[in-house]
Chains A and B, each alone.
Chain A
């Protein structure tokens, strides 16, 4: 038998970004004993990178805004394959979740009458994003962290979960190791909440931190839960592309919200060239109207740079492919031009976009108040994730909950900017609430010692293979290159079939990955564990993408470039079959209630 330290909780939360912290706070408020596991130090999760803001129909800047408009915007942005109930709950509850942050100490930017300020963002009809300059995520995570630590949470930092334990079809806890000493710990809990974020590290060019390796997706899948919508990957249109060391680093959509324009090498604002039909009524058809919108003119329509991310990313690819791109293979994003319109443009840019100014100045030798940035698409966010019940966030495994990026449903085929931070808060809270309820109603089930033992042996295998084997870093890089070139922003059947073949080879190589050194803080070991998760989510992404023979939102097929109405009636689900292979099936979308259908119709004008 392997040795391990044992812990017991009512609710165990895996992941301490916005969703995990919010879930832990809520569960704790319900009076149950809560454990919180973080992959990194507390307060360092990927949420800190969120820049532009949190979407909530507070109507502080434009009083025409309300939950119905936000709901319709979210559904339109998601191309109507969203879970309507999640979109409804999200739009209704996000204002309260934002106001609550202020009560916990968050300090948002203000309107002239002293309320929380809101800014424009892609796909949102009215200025809707509550923000703090361009560091909203940091404000959100710090507020939740500082509030949470006084709520009696037990925090386990720098901890890697290697297996989710299930007995008799119910989640019973997790097993993993603390990185500092490499010792194993078993957590037994009545309810487990996964809040592990995304999978961006499956790609070479990504805005995601090292943590985004799809851990929750893979743990849930291996334990028998269903994943959904894994083909929908968001490639954010504006990532840095030069110098190479910062390739993929995010450039906030807030730049465009503040008036930044996209230009090709001929200096043309190419976004005016292709405005999709559902957005034609809401989009400016000339530069002058677009600028009036930025200034807050309620009668002006929004500039085409603020169309949804999937569309903007594809327009950029089109310009690059047509030879109209920038020197390093992207296009130009220009905010400096607003000096023609404003006398204090330089100070304004530095005040509204401080970290963008800082990032380009220090890492790219570019002064964004004076010259345009060079940008291109970067892997940013996965709409797909663990399939959950809309109200409770419980997965298909009883006692296992999921919230935030690792859960599916709210975003459909494409997420609107700003809807992620609000998703974390709304569904983090719900997951915590319902997990606590589940824990009160169901006693902890015992952990199966044999499966804990097996998980430890598996996790230690890379040490047994030692140095004569594959280097896990090399295999990870090969996977990232393969996903980037074969299952990226533009997809075709033949390339994805090739990807499946290459994935099989990579799996064999990963199974040979070995490491040297001891168990204490050994990044080679961590990488070999992350690698297993990345391979699982990559397979789910490609199998789902092969199944969806149309183009919709973040999923673009060159061989099926149009939307197919038949595909608007179901989501694609992946799960582990009895023989261990990955099974793909179609789950019909739940029917949209008449009153919500009416809201969507009303908002089309």
Chain B
């Protein structure tokens, strides 16, 4: 049977180190299978977060050979097995243990976004009418499985640690799904500019490149919302009109 070498991040009192493991390769195997094999046979206390193992829940995010990916969707045959495969936790979040990070910041941030607010119903029975083409874009954003890989790779969070002033690509996409929902009646443009720091994003597209759901985060969510902010707050003509109005 073919063997593959893995270097897996294990936490210790000093912070952590890579530890070497060897696994048996079976056809179709993904990185999460390798981690499970290590757990079941060599390191029962190896911490890893996972649920569906089908790319649908977004739990098993990690950095594989330095690339942010879902472990359950990364096939071994897409990796170079001649050298060891490194598996380490997402680096933009505090480490809990081994491959598990504290992603609670994301849940707190989401709560600060103005929730969905339905407009009055269209029909007497309290239901709404929308055309499929009008919801296609929103449905693209709602494919998000909240794996937070886009947050992990965003340099504003990862390198500049601006977690207090910037909500990150995941939540700009979330805000976009609400803003572009034909039924939603709330206005999130001011909060995007102020508390949510959309201006920090300088559209490097790193988030879009790592999205396992292939959501076009930068072009379809971030840029249109930046445009709304600019139209509202920085367009010279509107500013002039506002002066007259007040």
Residues of A within 8 A of B (CB): 40-46, 48-49, 99, 102-105, 107, 109-110, 113-117, 132-133, 135, 138-139, 142, 146-147, 149-150, 157, 180, 209-211, 242-246, 249-250, 354-355, 358-359, 362-364, 471-474, 477, 515-518, 520-525, 527
Closest residue of chain B to A518 (Cβ to Cβ) is B45
**Residue from B29, B110, B115, B127 within 8 A of A245 (CB atoms):** B29
CA distance A243 to B33 in the complex (A): 12
**Contact between A521 and B97, CB atoms less than 8 A apart:** yes
Point out the residues of chain A lying under 8 angstroms from B181, CB to CB. Answer: 105, 107
For chain B, give the interface size range: 35 or more
B17 on the interface (CB 8 Å rule)? no
**Contact between A42 and B107, CB atoms less than 8 A apart:** yes
**Residue from B45, B54, B127, B130 within 8 A of A522 (CB atoms):** B45
B55 on the interface (CB 8 Å rule)? yes
B116 on the interface (CB 8 Å rule)? yes
Bits for B181-225, please: 1 = Cβ < 8 Å to A, else 0.
101100000000000000000000000000000000000000000
Bits for B60-92, please: 1 = Cβ < 8 Å to A, else 0.
000000000000010100000000000000000
Point out the residues of chain B lying under 8 angstroms from A43, CB to CB. Answer: 146
**Contact between A135 and B143, CB atoms less than 8 A apart:** yes
**Contact between B98 and A243, CB atoms less than 8 A apart:** no
B129 on the interface (CB 8 Å rule)? yes
**Contact between A49 and B33, CB atoms less than 8 A apart:** no
Given contacts A138-B56, A146-B116, contact A473 B28 (CB under 8 A): no
Residues of B within 8 A of A (CB): 26-30, 33, 39-41, 44-59, 73, 75, 96-98, 100, 102-104, 107, 110-111, 115-116, 118, 126-132, 135, 138-139, 142-143, 145-146, 178, 181, 183-184
**Contact between B44 and A523, CB atoms less than 8 A apart:** yes
Could you list 20 A-B pairs, sorted by A, with CB under 8 Å?
A: A40-B57, A45-B51, A103-B118, A114-B128, A114-B129, A114-B131, A133-B139, A150-B111, A180-B102, A245-B33, A246-B54, A250-B54, A363-B28, A363-B30, A364-B28, A471-B40, A472-B44, A515-B45, A521-B96, A523-B44
**Contact between A209 and B51, CB atoms less than 8 A apart:** yes
Closest residue of chain B to A517 (Cβ to Cβ) is B45
**Contact between A49 and B28, CB atoms less than 8 A apart:** no
CA distance A244 to B29 in the complex (A): 8
**Contact between A115 and B129, CB atoms less than 8 A apart:** yes
**Contact between A115 and B127, CB atoms less than 8 A apart:** yes
Point out the residues of chain B lying under 8 angstroms from A135, CB to CB. Answer: 56, 143
**Contact between A147 and B100, CB atoms less than 8 A apart:** no
- Chain B min CB distance to A483 (Å): 18
Point out the residues of chain B lying under 8 angstroms from A473, CB to CB. Answer: 39-41, 44
Q: Most chain-B Cβ atoms within 10 A of its Cβ — which of A46, A105, A157? A: A105
- Chain A min CB distance to B143 (Å): 7
CA distance A135 to B127 in the complex (A): 22
**Contact between B135 and A110, CB atoms less than 8 A apart:** yes
**Contact between B46 and A523, CB atoms less than 8 A apart:** yes
Point out the residues of chain B lying under 8 angstroms from A114, CB to CB. Answer: 128-131
CA distance A209 to B115 in the complex (A): 30
- Chain A min CB distance to B128 (Å): 7
Point out the residues of chain A lying under 8 angstroms from B138, CB to CB. Answer: 107
Closest residue of chain B to A99 (Cβ to Cβ) is B127
Point out the residues of chain B lying under 8 angstroms from A364, CB to CB. Answer: 28
**Residue from A132, A147, A180, A515 within 8 A of B142 (CB atoms):** A132
CA distance A527 to B39 in the complex (A): 11
Given contacts A48-B56, A149-B110, contact A521 B127 (CB under 8 A): no
CA distance A311 to B212 in the complex (A): 36
Closest residue of chain B to A244 (Cβ to Cβ) is B26
**Contact between A245 and B54, CB atoms less than 8 A apart:** no
Closest residue of chain A to B47 (Cβ to Cβ) is A521
Q: Most chain-A Cβ atoms within 10 A of its Cβ — which of B33, B135, B181? A: B135
Point out the residues of chain A lying under 8 angstroms from B53, CB to CB. Answer: 209, 249
Q: Most chain-A Cβ atoms within 10 A of its Cβ — which of B56, B100, B128, B130? A: B56
Point out the residues of chain A lying under 8 angstroms from B118, CB to CB. Answer: 103-105
- Chain A min CB distance to B9 (Å): 13
**Contact between B143 and A41, CB atoms less than 8 A apart:** no
**Residue from A44, A113, A358, A362 within 8 A of B75 (CB atoms):** A362
- Chain B min CB distance to A49 (Å): 5
Given contacts A477-B40, A523-B47, contact A48 B52 (CB under 8 A): yes
**Contact between B26 and A245, CB atoms less than 8 A apart:** yes
**Contact between A244 and B27, CB atoms less than 8 A apart:** yes
Point out the residues of chain B lying under 8 angstroms from A523, CB to CB. Answer: 39, 44-48
Given contacts A48-B57, A99-B126, A146-B116, contact A109 B132 (CB under 8 A): yes
Point out the residues of chain A lying under 8 angstroms from B50, CB to CB. Answer: 210
**Residue from B30, B56, B132 within 8 A of A49 (CB atoms):** B56
Closest residue of chain B to A250 (Cβ to Cβ) is B54
**Contact between B44 and A515, CB atoms less than 8 A apart:** yes
- Chain A min CB distance to B95 (Å): 10
**Residue from A49, A139, A521 within 8 A of B54 (CB atoms):** A49
**Residue from A41, A102, A245 within 8 A of B27 (CB atoms):** A245
Given A49-B56, A209-B53, A362-B55, 10 extra CB contacts under 8 A: A104-B116, A113-B129, A116-B127, A135-B143, A242-B28, A245-B29, A363-B73, A521-B96, A521-B98, A524-B45
Point out the residues of chain B lying under 8 angstroms from A150, CB to CB. Answer: 111, 115
- Chain B min CB distance to A26 (Å): 18
**Contact between B55 and A46, CB atoms less than 8 A apart:** no
Q: Most chain-B Cβ atoms within 10 A of its Cβ — which of A48, A243, A245? A: A245
**Contact between A243 and B28, CB atoms less than 8 A apart:** yes
**Contact between A245 and B28, CB atoms less than 8 A apart:** yes
Closest 9 CB pairs of A and B: A243-B28, A517-B45, A524-B44, A114-B129, A105-B116, A473-B40, A521-B47, A245-B28, A521-B97
**Contact between A102 and B145, CB atoms less than 8 A apart:** no
- Chain A min CB distance to B122 (Å): 8
**Contact between A521 and B100, CB atoms less than 8 A apart:** yes
Point out the residues of chain A lying under 8 angstroms from B111, CB to CB. Answer: 149-150
**Contact between A107 and B142, CB atoms less than 8 A apart:** yes
- Chain A min CB distance to B211 (Å): 12
CA distance A362 to B55 in the complex (A): 10
**Contact between B107 and A40, CB atoms less than 8 A apart:** no
**Residue from A44, A209, A245 within 8 A of B30 (CB atoms):** A245
**Contact between B139 and A180, CB atoms less than 8 A apart:** no
**Contact between B130 and A517, CB atoms less than 8 A apart:** no
CA distance A274 to B130 in the complex (A): 42
**Residue from A41, A105, A139, A362 within 8 A of B103 (CB atoms):** A41
**Contact between A41 and B49, CB atoms less than 8 A apart:** yes
Closest residue of chain B to A39 (Cβ to Cβ) is B51
- Chain B min CB distance to A461 (Å): 15
- Chain B min CB distance to A529 (Å): 13
**Contact between B55 and A358, CB atoms less than 8 A apart:** yes
- Chain A min CB distance to B181 (Å): 7
Point out the residues of chain B lying under 8 angstroms from A99, CB to CB. Answer: 126-127
- Chain A min CB distance to B24 (Å): 12
Point out the residues of chain B lying under 8 angstroms from A105, CB to CB. Answer: 115-116, 118, 178, 181, 183-184
Point out the residues of chain B lying under 8 angstroms from A117, CB to CB. Answer: 132
- Chain B min CB distance to A378 (Å): 12
CA distance A473 to B45 in the complex (A): 11
CA distance A516 to B45 in the complex (A): 7
CA distance A146 to B174 in the complex (A): 11
- Chain B min CB distance to A92 (Å): 16
Closest residue of chain A to B139 (Cβ to Cβ) is A107
Point out the residues of chain A lying under 8 angstroms from B142, CB to CB. Answer: 107, 132, 138-139, 142
